[in-house]
Amino acid sequence: MNASLTPGQTKVEQVKLLIDGQWVESKTSEWRDVVNPATQQVLARVPFATAEEVDAAIAAGQRAFKTWRDTPIGARMRIMLKLQALIREHSKRIAVVLSAEQGKTIADAEGDIFRGLEVVEHACSIGSLQMGEFAENVAGGVDTYTLRQPIGVCAGITPFNFPAMIPLWMFPMAIVCGNTFVLKPSEQDPLSTMMLVELALEAGVPAGVLNVVHGGKQVVDALCTHTDIKAISFVGSTEVGTHVYNLAGQHGKRVQSMMGAKNHAVVLPDANRTQTLNALVGAGFGAAGQRCMATSVAVLVGKAREWLPDLKALAANLKVNAGSEPGTDVGPLISKRAKERVLGLIESGIKEGAKLELDGRDVSVPGFEQGNFVGPTLFSGVTTDMQIYTQEIFGPVLVVLEVDTLDEAIALVNRNPFGNGTGLFTQSGAAARKFQNEIDVGQVGINIPIPVPVPYFSFTGSRGSKLGDLGPYGKQVVQFYTQTKTVTSRWFDDDSVNDGVNTTISLR
């Protein structure tokens, strides 16, 4: 592998670029260390690509598009079939690298890969997904039909928290639709992403169809403004996502930008108590809270307030350790900077008057004393004007609000500017139907804590969590990566009646 990791590794790998099917050593003078967040060991160095290297990657995609767009759908589909088989074969090895560079537990890393694998599997259905429509005899002897055709060179910008799943949301669907792709992985943890890219090449993705550049804002801006990039897919923070959407949109590109979140779980007192508490703790503290779909707010309705002590006890029993260690529930945050930000927000909650029920600030993990650890942290007495409520913490912090009725809970969720996901825990079908009908959030779970849809459907965050009409994967992403061409045709034979000149716009 281009950037592999072995136990006791001493040599620091230099992550390469992928341009026109070749692994290229960057000529940049700017590099960033890829650091194990549990140990601070430098695993690799990633380059911030030069402007010339970004241009070369896009040019390679433009050249490859001329032939790739005409590659039969069946041939593209068979590459996806091979890719999904290779990912299955290598998933455990990739998970070890992912855990080391990102901090997730091995089990969660395998889940990261699997949820991306599901999208690759769905890409194998491109034969039916990319079908157009046909209507016969829309006028006398006239037929109309539509074609779904690829749009050109597309680009994807991915976040650190899902270095396998989100790249697999992007480039497989883009290229199976007949486009070429330039991928910019997170500079914080690109190693597992690069392993997946290598598998894509092994599966038969031709030179130039998939290219990879690394970097920060300059590379992002270059992708957003380059004339030959037709579409940008982004997942990450609200600040960067808004910038990408505006900049790329100003340069005439299609953009899907999935951004920040503040996901509420509304708990009614009739809910299954054990299952609900397990769900809240798992969704609130899993992956150290570094999921865009993490449950970061619990809204306890009526007598469900009485569940707070049980919630606290369950969270307190979670094991904080390096992701590589067996039995770990909560691993480290991605970086020291991320840890400092989370600690600052916890401090703000205390200063603003919330009650700190469970304090995870002083966690020490034997053998991993340098790790970026924050333990499960629980606040009660939270109000909607506090920073721990208004800001996405992106750490293992769960805040609890209390209301008297379901109507109050719905109003509370709908007032929040984010609309990524929400959940309701209840055994009442009537309450569930009311909630899903009235809630103004793109993804709703009923007794499901993290309502990320399977790939046959599309990821559909809304409001402040999403810019752009079409979401990643599913049917919507086929629309995003293709353009519709409508053909209206009439054929004549030698015995056709001459209708004469028609100077109207009607069809006869």
**Residues catalogued as catalytic:** 292
Instruction: Please give the Cα distance from 1 to 10 (Å, whole number).
Output: 16
The end-to-end CA distance of the chain, in Å, is 63
Under a CB-based contact definition with an 8 Å cutoff, are residues 234 and 472 in contact?
A: no
Tokens in use for 462? 């809304």
Instruction: Please give the Cα distance from 349 to 354 (Å, whole number).
Output: 5
The number of CA neighbours under 13 Å toward the Cβ of 245 is 19
Strands (E), 84-240: 134-139, 142-150, 153-157, 180-184, 210-212, 229-235
User: From its phi and psi, is residue 98 left (phi > 0), alpha (psi between -120 and 50) or beta?
Assistant: alpha
Instruction: Please give the Cα distance from 109 to 115 (Å, whole number).
Output: 10
Amino acid at 191: L
Instruction: Please give the Cα distance from 331 to 333 (Å, whole number).
Output: 7
Angle at the Cα of 237 (from 154 to 387), degrees rounded to 5?
A: 165
Tokens in use for 456? 């046959």
Burial class (CB in 10 A: 0-12, 13-18, 19+), 190: buried
List the beta bridge partners of residue 432.
Answer: none
Q: H/E element holding 103?
A: none
Instruction: Please give the Cα distance from 391 to 96 (Å, whole number).
Output: 32
| Best CA proximity match to 295, nearest among 426, 413, 463 | 413
What is the DSSP code string of 45-87? EEE---HHHHHHHHHHHHHHHHHHTTS-HHHHHHHHHHHHHHH
Handedness of CA 68, 74, 78, 84 (dihedral sign): positive
Name every residue whose Cβ is closer than 8 Å to that of residue 309 and which is 6 or more positions away in sequence.
Answer: none
Name every residue whose Cβ is closer than 8 Å to that of residue 508 and which is 6 or more positions away in sequence.
Answer: 139, 140, 499, 502
Pairing of strands 462-463, 418-419: antiparallel
Under a CB-based contact definition with an 8 Å cutoff, are residues 68 and 190 in contact?
A: no
The number of CA neighbours under 13 Å toward the Cβ of 478 is 20
